[in-house]
Amino acid sequence: MITKARLKSLAEKHGTPLFIVDHDELRKNFRAFRKYLPRVQPYFAVKAGADAAIVRTLFNEGASFDVASMPEFALVYENIKHLKKKERQAWIWDRIIYANPIKPVETLRELDQYKPLVTFDNLEEIEKIKQHAPHAGLCLRIKVANTGAMVELSSKFGAMPGEAVDLILEADRRGLTVEGISFHVGSQTTNFENYVQALNLTANIFAEAKDRGYTKMNLVDIGGGFPAPYDSSVRPFRELARIINSEIKRLFPKHIEILAEPGRFFVATAGYAVSKIIGKAVRDGKASYYINDGVYHTYSGQLFDHCKYTIKSFKRGKTSLSAVFGPTCDALDVISMADPLPNLERDDFVYSDNIGAYSRASTTHFNGFEPATVVHVNE
C-alpha cells in the first residue's frame, strides 16, 4: 500500500493530475485470487485496466487474459510476439479468451488466424463465426441473475438457459466446436447467491447437452464480478471463494477446466488519483473546490461504472461537507457534492484511492483537457 507521503511526493515530482499504479498491489491481488480459488485460472479482463505495464505484470505472474477488442488483444500479444509461431499459437489457445459475445465481421476475420476461443450467445453470431472465423473454438454465454451487482449486464448479453443446448447443437451442426459455458453475474457483485444459481444452471446445461448427445464441452467460465473492497460493507473475497469452491467441487468433475475473468478485483485497489485545487468558491453556503481532474478523466468511473470515489485531503483539520468539481465547462463534471474536507487553498493536493478499475480506461480529451499522467511504482 502506498502511503499518503509517497502520493504527495510523486505529485510534487511529476505534477498533476496524476494516476498512480501500485504493481505490488496487483501482484498481491493476483496471488490472493489463486490462493483462495486454486482450481480457477484467472483471465484478467483487460478492459478494467488496459495498460501495457499492468498487462505485463500480470503476465509475469502467470495470468491468462480476457480481451474484448483487437487493441486489447494486441496489448497481450506484445508479451508473446517473440515466441516461435507454434509456441505463440499454443499460448493463445490456452491463455486468451475473446469474451465479447458480439463481434464485427472485420474482427472475426482478423482473429481467425489465431484460432482463438470466443464467446457467443445467439444464432446470428454462430453464422458470422462459421463464415469469418471457422477455426475458432466457441464458448456459449448464458443469461444469469445479476441481482445486487453494481453494473448489470444480463439485459445486454446472454442466451436464455432454455435455448442453450439448441444453440450448442446448431453450432455443432455447422462444424463448430462449443467447448464450454460462460456467464457473468454482474460487475462488483455483492450478492454471492448469483454465483450459486449460475453454476447450477451451467451444470444443468452440461447434463442436458450430454443427454442429447453432445459431449465435447470441457470448460466453465464463471466470468467476473468479484467485488473489490471499496468499503467495509463488501464481504471478504475468501467468503465468496469458499462458496464457489464448494459448488465447483459438487457440480463439476476434475477434468472440467474452470476459468474466470477478474478485472476490478485485480486493479481497483492498485490505483490512486492525485490532483490539485485550481479554484474555490462558496456556493449556497458550501465550500466548492475545482480540481484539475474530473469525470471526463480519471473519475469517469462515476458515470460509466456507477462507482463513487471519495476525495481526500492531505491536510488535517476540522471538516465540512464540500463540493468538488472537475475542470471542464460541463455541468456534468461533478465529482462530489458532499465530501468531508478541511479548509483548502488553491494548489493544495487532494487524492482518491481504490480508483484503479474502469477509471483512466475511459478517459477522454473533452474540452481540451489532457488525461492524468500515469506513474507506475513497484514494477
Task: Give φ, ψ of 191 to 5 degrees.
Answer: -95, 95
CA distance 220 to 243: 16
Contact indicator for 220, 212 with CB cutoff of 8 Å: no
Return the sign of the alpha-carbon dihedral for residues 237, 242, 248, 249: positive
CA distance 256 to 366: 47
Active-site hit among 5, 155, 215, 329:
329
Task: Give φ, ψ of 292 to 5 degrees.
Answer: -95, 35
Q: What is the DSSP-derived secondary structure letter of residue 159?
A: B
Work out the burial of residue 82: count CB atoms within 10 Å of its CB; fewer than 13 is exposed, 13-18 middle, 19 or more buried: exposed
Task: Give φ, ψ of 38 to 5 degrees.
Answer: -65, -25
Task: Give φ, ψ of 43 to 5 degrees.
Answer: -105, 100
CA distance 347 to 354: 23
Q: Which three cell numbers stand for residue 372?
A: 492524468
Task: Give φ, ψ of 24 to 5 degrees.
Answer: -65, -40
* Catalytic annotation present for 329: yes
CA distance 377 to 379: 5
First to last CA, the chain: 14
Q: Which three cell numbers stand for residue 41?
A: 485460472
Catalytically active residues, by annotation: 329
